Structure 1
Amino acid sequence: MSGVVLNGHGGLDKLAYRDDLPVPTPGDNEVVIKVGASAINNTDINTRIGWYSKQVTSQTNNGALDGFDASVDDDASWAGSALSFPLIQGADCCGIIVAVGGNVDESRIGERVIIRSMQQVGDAADHLCRTFGSEVNGGFAEYAKADAVEAFTVKSELTDSELASFPCAYSTAENMIERANVKATDTVMITGASGGVGSAAIQLAKRRGARVIAICSQSKREQVLALGADEVIARDQDVVKVLGEESVDVVIDLVAGGQWGSLLTVLRRGGRYAVAGAIAGPMVELDVRTLYLKDLTFFGCTYQQREVFENLVSYIERGEIKPLVSKQYPLSEIKTAQQAFMAKQYTGKLVLIP
């Protein structure tokens, strides 16, 4: 089969499109999917360049094209351990089940499915997980293998490209919103609001009836408003000056970086802060007095309970959320697609077709 393999941590040169890869064979409790579409996420870039390593302290884009100089191999995965190469990436995957392994009902052959990106490992209490396309091979190929329990049937008239835009970004956003217990009475501020997770978070917060303030580049203002945001603040503006102190109930943060302290300033007393990304840089300065004197609650959001993805599938099937596909690329043009992704000139998702 054809597919893209990652041959190590580094720049775009570490990605290789090949047409001689073996088609995966399902083991017990596994299925093989003929991939209809996959999509690009920050995690694909972060994994390729080794950004998850604690040795890397700068923003993603500093190493997105050429990688980082630091040696990151030992702890450059979500789990903080070394990855095995070559690796087929791709956290997003939509397709049709074409083969099943032992203990899987053959009636599942022909089901149209999406794969849960963040998959539980062990007991829920341990908060351990693995990422499809990181700790195991993912969707950047003609065929992909997955645990049968992680392949969720979706009954929808949406295209494969549209369905492939949901799994990683929307489950990440829904997990953050669920953990922060967003309610209809809340005002929610979302950073990085024009990206995949940010645009998903707008829809999912509005689905709960919350008021949404979105932060993004000024050029994407109208697109973000069209998604449902009630107010848009340009990312180079001072949110404290625009909104005033203690003006929002929840912050959904995907950016971190230099402006991080201002996010806590605009949180009301008793406010909630949820984070699942740090594309502007992972190192921030915290005045601990702000945390405890304002009785703030922080949520780091990686592990997802199964019901998060189950709920996401139900939203899709009921038409309560909509896909936002910005552009499609052939899988063979993944390097071009990743360059477009890193340029941040789009709103929503970039999709790859095998």
Structure 2
Amino acid sequence: MPKAYVFTRFGGPEAEALVEQDRPSPGPGQVLVAVRAAGVNPVDWKQRTGHSRPGGPARELPAVFGNEVAGVVEEVGAEVTGFAVGDEVFGNPVAGGYAEYALLPATVTAHKPAELSYQDAATLPVAAATAYDGVRQLDLPEGATLLITGAGGGVGVAATQIARAFGVRVIGIASDAKKDFVESLGAVHVPSGPDLAERLRGAAPDGVDGVFDLVGGEVQEAAATLLGDPAKLITGADRRTAARLGGGPVERARNSAVLDEVAKLVVEGKLRPFVTQTFPLDRAGEALRTVEDGHARGKIVIEVGG
């Protein structure tokens, strides 16, 4: 029977297990994918603790970990067009991706370019797609200045590269330890920590044209002081603070077109996924610990088959 890495209840790592499950069958609008690689994200372990996306469905237990995969189409459900058995694809699974097989909605699945590895493709549907949606939402003109908080994290790294690809100047807030990395992406680094507002004013004495917040709280508040138009503040971390300051959340498109666009940026060399570690499925717990403990540099990927 196919294997999957699941959490059997809400809680800590003790709730995780590698189990055998029946091979799923695609429903209308779905494709069944033989998974080759699955991306690991902070949201994965957060879901194990009981966290859910606002407005998202409750998870049925046991629940398979994972929110992004790449693989090969094994079966196509009713009402699906544009996909066939044998197609190489990537996207957001219906209910987990740390598994030998996963169901994907065709609307959030894209064809994987031949030039793109399964490992790199599996990193795109969550962080890179969120970053793309946010940068497009701000719609800053070429030459404008974008301030990104949490620029050294998964979404921040992708947003920095995407914004630079669109000709936007980027100022990135990140820890001192990530200074060289953030600057290698083409951003001006501003170290996080006490007296952040003063350092931001030094980096952008004329203010900024947009803020892409990925930290929230006091960091978001400090960043917002540089904005002339509060509507140009978006957040993927702290909606309440953003609303109070006149901004709003990142508006997610969640469609195949965005996945096609981020894949194109990778193929063109404008977006690097930065896969730094891979783990086999039977070591998925180690992959999760690397992300949950905050020790990950770049993207962590679980290799499943192939």
* TM beyond 0.5: yes
- Bigger shift: residues 315-324 or 25-34: 315-324
Percent of matched pairs sharing the same residue? 28
Amino acid paired to 1:202: T
Give, in angstroms, the shift of residue 246 of structure 1: 5.7
> Secondary structure, in 3 states, of the residue corresponding to 1:185?
coil
Inter-CA distance 157–285: structure 2 relative to 1 (3 Å threshold): closer
TM-score (norm 2): 0.88
Alignment of 1:135-146 (within 5 A): 136-146=94-104
Give, in angstroms, the shift of residue 312 of structure 1: 2.2
- Give 1:95's aligned residue: 71
Alignment of 1:245-260 (within 5 A): 247-260=207-220
* Alpha-carbon distance in structure 2 between the residues aligned to 1:327 and 1:258: 32
Count matched residues. 299
Alignment of 1:119-134 (within 5 A): 132=93
Alignment match of 1:171 (pick from 102, 118, 129): 129
Give, in angstroms, the shift of residue 283 of structure 1: 6.6
Inter-CA distance 260–178: structure 2 relative to 1 (3 Å threshold): same
2:37 and 2:118 in contact (8 A); partners too: yes
Alignment match of 1:274 (pick from 212, 234, 238): 234
Amino acid paired to 2:182: V
Give, in angstroms, the shift of residue 3 of structure 1: 1.0
2:276 and 2:297 in contact (8 A); partners too: yes
Inter-CA distance 246–10: structure 2 relative to 1 (3 Å threshold): farther
After superposition, give the CA deviation of every residue in 1:2-41 in whole Å (9 maximum; x if it has no partner): 11112222111222111x2111122333211111111111
Alignment of 1:216-235 (within 5 A): 216-229=174-187, 231-235=188-192
Inter-CA distance 308–106: structure 2 relative to 1 (3 Å threshold): closer
Give, in angstroms, the shift of residue 176 of structure 1: 0.8
1:36 and 1:96 in contact (8 A); partners too: yes
Give, in angstroms, the shift of residue 156 of structure 1: 3.2
Give, in angstroms, the shift of residue 199 of structure 1: 0.6
* Alpha-carbon distance in structure 2 between the residues aligned to 1:86 and 1:6: 6
- Give 2:88's aligned residue: 112
> Secondary structure, in 3 states, of the residue corresponding to 2:151?
coil
2:89 and 2:112 in contact (8 A); partners too: yes
Inter-CA distance 15–260: structure 2 relative to 1 (3 Å threshold): same
* Alpha-carbon distance in structure 1 between the residues aligned to 2:54 and 2:77: 28
Determine whether 1:84 maps to 2:60. Answer: yes
Inter-CA distance 39–210: structure 2 relative to 1 (3 Å threshold): same
Give, in angstroms, the shift of residue 46 of structure 1: 2.2
Alignment of 1:201-220 (within 5 A): 201-220=159-178
* Alpha-carbon distance in structure 1 between the residues aligned to 2:209 and 2:24: 47
* Alpha-carbon distance in structure 2 between the residues aligned to 1:80 and 1:142: 24
Inter-CA distance 332–275: structure 2 relative to 1 (3 Å threshold): same
Determine whether 1:156 maps to 2:106. Answer: no
* Alpha-carbon distance in structure 1 between the residues aligned to 2:254 and 2:287: 31
Inter-CA distance 301–153: structure 2 relative to 1 (3 Å threshold): same
* Alpha-carbon distance in structure 1 between the residues aligned to 2:108 and 2:229: 39
Determine whether 1:331 maps to 2:281. Answer: yes
* Alpha-carbon distance in structure 1 between the residues aligned to 2:254 and 2:21: 33
The RMSD of aligned alpha carbons is 2.4
- Give 2:6's aligned residue: 5
The gaps in structure 2 that reach 5 residues or longer are none
Give, in angstroms, the shift of residue 225 of structure 1: 1.5
* Alpha-carbon distance in structure 2 between the residues aligned to 1:228 and 1:344: 24
After superposition, give the CA deviation of every residue in 1:194-236 in whole Å (9 maximum; x if it has no partner): 211111011111011111111112112112221222x111221
After superposition, give the CA deviation of every residue in 1:284-341 in whole Å (9 maximum; x if it has no partner): 598x5xx4xxxxx513125316343342233234443222112112222222222221
- Give 1:43's aligned residue: 43
- Give 1:68's aligned residue: none
- Give 1:195's aligned residue: 153
* Alpha-carbon distance in structure 2 between the residues aligned to 1:331 and 1:257: 36
After superposition, give the CA deviation of every residue in 1:148-174 in whole Å (9 maximum; x if it has no partner): 333211213232111111111011001
TM-score (norm 1): 0.77
Amino acid paired to 2:126: C
The gaps in structure 1 that reach 5 residues or longer are 52-75, 118-131, 292-296
* Alpha-carbon distance in structure 2 between the residues aligned to 1:314 and 1:207: 12
